[in-house]
Amino acid sequence: MNPREFKKILVGVDDSEDAQLAFRYAMNRAKNDHASLAIVSVLEPADMNVYEALSKEYVDLQRKRIKQHLAKYKKVAERFGIKEVTSFVADGNPGKVIVERVIPDVDPDLLVIGAQAKSGIEKHFGSQAAYMAKYSPVSVLVVR
């Protein structure tokens, strides 16, 4: 019996230790399966105070920083030998936005995420990972 091969892998990153492990796992799986890799990071308005969230300049600066950081992830994946790598920023609650908007847009076979987020209450309870594992329409691998 052959293990399932995936054609398109989506990985969520946020610079937490678990997300770094998830990224490395997703790269290895994508390379072994000759799959494409989509890398997403979510800009969370909940992490901003009301003044920051209302400042278009601040939000644009945060989005630009995330895009620059994602470009580094993309370069690492390409140097690792993955032929097709895309990256993008989504806005909102990570669990909901990945399940409800990112997965339908990207259409992956597998979602790879870290068990714990880097900030917020989700860091302590892993509720984003639990939400995605429960509601994702595709297979989910939670890395710890």
- Whether 130 is in a domain gets the answer no
The number of distinct structural domains making up the chain is 1
Rounded Cα distance between 119 and 44, Å, is 10
What CATH code is carried by the domain that includes residue 50? Answer: 3.40.50.620
Predicted TM-score (pTM) of this structure = 0.89
| pLDDT, mean of each 10-residue run, the chain (144 residues) | 81 91 97 97 81 79 93 98 97 94 97 77 63 96 92
pLDDT of residue 123: 47
- Classify residue 42: in a domain, yes or no: yes
The residue segments making up the domain with residue 54 are: 38-123+136-144
Residue 122's pLDDT is what?
46
Residue 15 belongs to some domain of the structure: no
Q: How far is CA 76 from CA 80, 85, 92, 104, 134, in A?
A: 6, 10, 26, 25, 30
CA angle centred on 137, ends 132 and 142, rounded to 5° = 35
Residue 103: the pLDDT is: 98
Q: What per-residue confidence (pLDDT) applies to 98?
A: 97
Q: What pLDDT is attached to residue 124?
A: 42
Task: Spell 115-134 as b/e; 16+ CB within 10 A means b.
Answer: bbbeeeebeeebbbbebbbe
In a domain? residue 25? no
- 5 in a structural domain: no
Structural domain contains residue 86? yes
- Of the candidates 92, 98, 95, 81, the one whose C-alpha atom is nearest the C-alpha of residue 40 is 98
In 4-66, DSSP assigns E strands to 8-12, 36-43
Contact between 107 and 8 (Cβ < 8 Å): yes
pLDDT of residue 56: 82
Q: Which pLDDT value is given to residue 45?
A: 76
